């Protein structure tokens, strides 16, 4: 085989340059995983997606990097300068992926430490579960609103948190609100890990539809979530659930609606035609939610308000209806009577920046009589629990214990009421006192 003056064959040259090209590409993905950006309109969508996939699939990416490196080495890439440069970059990528994996495992370790003193209260073995799909709960705006119900697949009143043989009034309910930027999203594809966890613990989980923009205008989305809660309570006997204990959760836009649902219980303006229905919840668990439509921290991607929220979701500018934009901002709805919250957010979130979560938690803690727990995940991106990763599984288990703790306080409290002291004592007994506090906010 002919060799160049430098002693390289044509195949080795091609392998070297190919190795360098692949290594540069992979290094950029790794760098983006550590420093995702939302400051450039044309790039932040790519930056989020690439960062999200790279972080949550880091173990697989590391394995691919090792295999690719071995493949190129076998083909003589290291005999060329480009190939050696590619190897340096590949080693850097492997170090970055290893650090990302370590962060995921550290999250699990930190949560385990927080839960180290947990004693399960009458926790049975995980129950089998079954789906009831596309159950209509309302009609609004000319469309049918449906929910998917995941429940324990056991005889009524047997096992888990809602064992009616123990004298409890029925199983606790978890309402799951999907995300998708208020314009898309599928209940069938979101919240699955948490719903399966809670159903196996004895809960009845309802993944609900709501009208979507641009056809829907705020507060239509919120109204529909409240319709679902009202329907669940109205049909509690048929569902075998306790109408007095409803919790709500959701991610992204669903996290936004989760927070608003919890903070605007029984407000008639959000309950047209069902003003007398009870739409309160006992606990709220928003994942990577949006808490401030007005962007008072100045951390959103450029033109989010003018090019998306105003024309698509709100149908007005902030200057035209500041009251409506405040109504859509959970941070402006905090009050002393808020239910127990567990707010979960990743510190690398570029779609819903973590600064807003910190500000919201601080504001809610200032006024709420109920506990407000905040779990900030180091190295986590938006939608981090979509994959059953190490981090996601650890967080889902922690949320399960949190919700069980609140439910335990509810059923052991006086008159089936979740009193603040009872909730705090039960949750802190089960979670410890090491859930992270909000980090300092720049300029505050």
Same domain, yes or no: 329 and 204: yes
Are residue 108 and residue 155 in the same domain, yes or no? no
pLDDT band at 80 (very low <50, low <70, confident <90, very high): very high
Those residues whose C-beta lies under 8 Å from the C-beta of residue 104, and which sit 6 or more positions away, are: 55, 58, 379, 389, 390, 391
255 has a pLDDT exceeding 50 = yes
User: Which of 23, 51, 252, 329 is an active site residue?
Assistant: 252
Query: Would you say residue 442 lies in a domain?
Result: no
The band of 303, judged by pLDDT with boundaries at 50, 70 and 90, is confident
**Lowest-confidence region among 3-12, 173-182, 222-231:** 3-12
Instruction: Give the confidence band of 312 by pLDDT, cuts at 50, 70, 90.
Output: very high
Clarify whether residues 24 and 52 are in a common domain: yes
Would the pLDDT of 286 be above 70? yes
The contacts of residue 157 (CB under 8 Å, 6+ apart) are 163, 164, 165, 240
Q: 382, 389, 407, 408: which one is catalytic?
A: 382
* Together in a domain, 94 and 211: no
> Residues 209, 220, 332, 349: which is the catalytic one?
349
Q: Are residues 185 and 286 in the same domain?
A: yes
- The answer, yes or no, to whether residue 257 has pLDDT greater than 90, is yes
Q: What is the pLDDT of residues 103-136, one digit of tens each?
A: 888 876 666 554 443 334 556 688 999 999 999 9
Among the residue ranges 45-54, 239-248, 294-303, the one predicted with the least confidence is: 45-54
Q: Answer yes or no: do 202 and 66 share one domain.
A: no
Give domain status of residue 121, yes or no. no
Q: How far separated are the first and last CA of the chain, in Å rounded?
A: 68
Whether 225 has a pLDDT exceeding 90, the answer reads yes
**444 in a domain, yes or no?**
no
201 and 157 housed in the same domain: yes
Domain termination site, one of 114, 141, 163: 114
Domain boundary among 68, 84, 114: 114
**What pLDDT, on the 0 to 100 scale, is given for residue 263?**
99
Domain extent, residue 57, equals 10-114
Q: Which of these three, 114, 140, 158, is where a domain ends?
A: 114
CATH number of the domain where residue 379 is located: 3.40.50.1820
Identify whether residues 169 and 300 lie together within a single domain: yes
Q: What is the pLDDT of residues 381-419, one digit of tens each?
A: 999 998 888 899 989 988 998 899 889 888 887 544 455
Mean pLDDT of the chain: 86
The answer to whether residue 76 is domain-embedded is: yes
Cβ atoms within 10 Å, residue 26: 23
Q: Do residue 410 and residue 309 come from a single domain? A: yes
Instruction: Decide if 382 is catalytic.
Output: yes
Confidence (pLDDT) at 106? 81
Q: Are residues 218 and 343 in the same domain?
A: yes
| Residue 443: inside a domain | no
Q: Are residues 62 and 135 in the same domain?
A: no
In a domain, residue 252? The reply is yes
């Amino acid at each position: 085989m002919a060799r160049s003056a430098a002693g390289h064959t044509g195949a080795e040259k091609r392998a070297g340059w190919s190795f360098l090209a692949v290594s540069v590409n992979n290094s950029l993905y790794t760098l983006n995983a550590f420093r995702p950006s939302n400051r450039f309109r044309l790039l932040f969508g790519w930056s989020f997606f690439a960062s999200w996939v790279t972080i949550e699939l880091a173990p697989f990416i590391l394995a691919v990097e090792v295999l690719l490196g071995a493949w190129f080495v076998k083909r003589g890439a290291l005999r060329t300068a480009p190939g050696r440069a590619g190897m340096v970059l590949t080693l850097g990528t492997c170090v970055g992926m290893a650090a990302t994996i370590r962060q995921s495992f550290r999250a699990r370790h930190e949560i385990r430490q927080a839960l180290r003193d947990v004693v399960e209260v009458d926790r049975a073995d995980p129950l089998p579960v079954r789906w009831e799909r596309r159950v209509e709960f309302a009609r609004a705006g000319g469309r049918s609103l449906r929910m998917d119900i995941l429940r324990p697949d056991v005889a009524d009143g047997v096992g888990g948190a809602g064992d009616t043989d123990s004298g409890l009034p029925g199983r606790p309910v978890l309402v799951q609100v999907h995300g998708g930027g208020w314009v898309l999203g599928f209940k069938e594809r979101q919240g699955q890990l948490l719903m399966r966890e809670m159903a196996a613990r004895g809960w009845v989980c309802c993944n609900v539809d709501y009208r979507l923009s641009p056809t829907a205008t705020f507060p239509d989305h919120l109204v529909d979530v409240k319709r679902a809660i009202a329907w669940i309570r109205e049909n509690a006997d048929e569902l075998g659930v306790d109408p007095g204990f409803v919790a709500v959760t959701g991610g992204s836009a669903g996290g936004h609606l989760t927070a608003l649902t919890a903070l605007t219980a029984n407000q008639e303006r959000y309950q047209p035609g069902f003003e007398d229905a009870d739409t309160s919840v006992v606990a709220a668990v928003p994942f990577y939610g949006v808490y401030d439509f007005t962007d008072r921290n100045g951390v959103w991607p450029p033109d989010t308000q003018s090019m998306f929220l105003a024309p698509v979701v709100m149908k007005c500018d902030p200057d035209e209806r500041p009251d409506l934009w405040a109504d859509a901002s959970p941070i402006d709805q905090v009050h002393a009577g808020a239910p127990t919250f567990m707010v979960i957010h990743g510190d690398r979130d570029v779609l819903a920046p973590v600064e807003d979560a910190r500000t919201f938690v601080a504001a809610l803690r200032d006024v709420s009589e109920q506990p407000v727990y905040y779990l900030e995940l180091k190295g986590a991106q938006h939608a981090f629990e979509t994959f059953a990763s190490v981090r996601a599984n650890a967080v889902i288990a922690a949320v399960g214990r949190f919700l069980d703790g609140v439910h335990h306080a509810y059923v052991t409290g006086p008159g089936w009421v979740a009193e603040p002291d009872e909730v705090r004592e039960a949750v802190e007994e089960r979670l410890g006192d090491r859930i992270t506090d909000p980090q300092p906010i720049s300029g505050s």
